[in-house]
Amino acid sequence: MSDPINQGMEYNSDREDVIIPEYGRNVQKLVQYAKTIENPKMRQHFIEKVVDMMMQMHPQNRNLEDYREKLWKHVFRIANYELDVVPPFGEIPKPEDARKHPEKIAYPVTEARFRHYGHNIQVLIKKALSMPLGPKRDGFVNVIASYMKLAYKTWNREHYVSDDVIKGDLESLSNGLLTLHEDTAIDNLSRTDRRRPNMSGGKRPGGPNGNGPGGRDRDKQQQRPPRTYRRKK
């Protein structure tokens, strides 16, 4: 004798897995039902309505440019790519599209030696080697040496670094093509004299205390008595 209470009920353990859970089992049933519709126009119209319903389930994504295209791809995925309909973008999704993975980003190949200087030093050295010989190249090499010493101090604050170490590392990284003079002080390369030259020979026009022609004129202006105004009767 059949149980009238449990008649027509089914357990989740007896059902097939939901392919895309965010749309629920009912959408999956509708897509599976669309596969059984023989009339192509009715099948196309039915699937379009299913896509509209899927869009209403997530209205926050409605303004996305490619959201409808994404829904159509999900419909074909739910149908196991056995659905004979035409998506609005024309191209019918294939099973290979669901298994596509983004291309791996190539890890930058850097010099294994002297990593504490960073990859930018390698770029600067290549730039210097491509420059013609002359003062401009020499100045650029000085900038590289100053930057190398700054980077060395940043990552090795507890240890003192001499100019000879920087010069030797620069020569090694450039395969002996970039060198600094033995008497060159790297710390002095980055220093600039910011004092402006005094065009008056160190003295102000009015003298050190404001005296002189210019100073006396200013004193006269300051010693003028204040003006008095009489009230009209």
pLDDT per residue as tens digits for the range 90-139: 788 888 777 777 788 877 665 557 777 878 888 888 999 899 988 898 88
Residue listed under structure tokens 């829904």? 71
Token pair, residue 218, equals: 């200013």
3-state secondary structure of 135: helix
Helices (H), the chain: 24-34, 40-57, 67-78, 95-98, 119-129, 135-155, 163-173, 186-189, 213-223
pLDDT digits (tens, 9 = 90+) for 63-93: 777 888 889 999 999 998 888 898 888 788 8
pLDDT value at residue 216:
53
pLDDT mean across residues, the chain: 77
Q: How many residues does the chain have?
A: 233
3-state helix, strand, coil split of the chain in percent (to 5) is 50, 0, 50
pLDDT class for 59, splitting at 50, 70, 90? confident
Q: What is the pLDDT of residue 194?
A: 40
- Give the residue extent of every domain in the chain: 14-98, 115-189
Which residues have C-beta within 8 Å of that of residue 30, sequence separation ≥ 6?
Answer: 46, 50
**pLDDT for 25-41, tens place per residue?**
899 999 999 999 999 99
Q: Which residue has the tokens 């050295």?
A: 125
Q: What pLDDT does residue 116 have?
A: 78
Structure token pair of residue 130: 């491509």
The answer to whether 27 and 50 have CB atoms below 8 angstroms apart is yes
| In the predicted structure, residue 45 carries a pLDDT above the cut 90 | yes
CA distance 86 to 92: 7
Give helix then strand counts, H and E, for the chain: 9, 0
Does the pLDDT at position 200 exceed 70?
no
pLDDT greater than 70 at residue 181: yes
What mean pLDDT do residues 134-147 have? 89
Phi-psi region of 80 (alpha: psi -120 to 50; beta: other; left: phi over 0): left
User: What number is the average pLDDT over the span 188-202?
Assistant: 49
Q: Specify the pLDDT at position 43.
A: 93
Nearest alpha-carbon partner for 20 in 76, 83, 67: 76
